């Protein structure tokens, strides 16, 4: 459940799966590396959460982490050096690799 005292904080309990922690760690690393500011992250995540609420999404961990991914993708689109087209191509390659990888094995491009 989201925390009303800090709506941008991760919900409690924190994670259902490792990828959720990795997504937040990626956002933190991107802020630390100066790719975007903490304020940009908070604004973009807040907008993604508001959009989910406006669309009638339930107040769940899944909704929160989908918003995290959406915010990361939105901010990634603003970064120099990786066009939206290149990001789509890379995502398609990862999705194809994921589909052909046996369960429990690491995904390799």
Mean of pLDDT values over 3-24 = 75
pLDDT of residue 26: 93
Peptide bond preceding 71: is omega within 30 degrees of 0, i.e. cis? no
What percentage of the chain has pLDDT greater than the value 70?
Answer: 87
What six digits make up the tokens of 83?
């066009």
pLDDT of residue 60: 87
pLDDT of residue 19: 87
Residue 81 Ramachandran class (φ > 0 left, ψ -120 to 50 alpha, else beta): left
Model confidence pLDDT, tens digit, residues 21-66:
899 999 999 999 999 999 999 999 999 999 999 999 998 888 999 9
Rounded-to-integer distance, Cα 84 and Cα 80, Å: 10
Q: Is 53 helix (H, G, I), strand (E, B) or coil?
A: helix
């Amino acid at each position: 459940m989201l925390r009303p005292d800090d709506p941008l904080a991760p919900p409690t309990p924190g994670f259902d799966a490792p990828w959720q922690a990795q997504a937040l760690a990626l956002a933190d690393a991107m802020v630390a590396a100066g790719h975007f500011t903490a304020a940009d992250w908070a604004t973009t995540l807040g907008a993604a959460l508001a959009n989910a609420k406006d669309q009638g999404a339930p107040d769940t961990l899944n909704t929160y982490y989908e918003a995290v991914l959406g915010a990361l993708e939105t901010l990634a689109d603003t970064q120099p050096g990786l066009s939206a087209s290149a990001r789509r191509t890379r995502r398609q390659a990862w999705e194809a690799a994921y589909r052909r990888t046996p369960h429990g094995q690491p995904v390799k491009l």
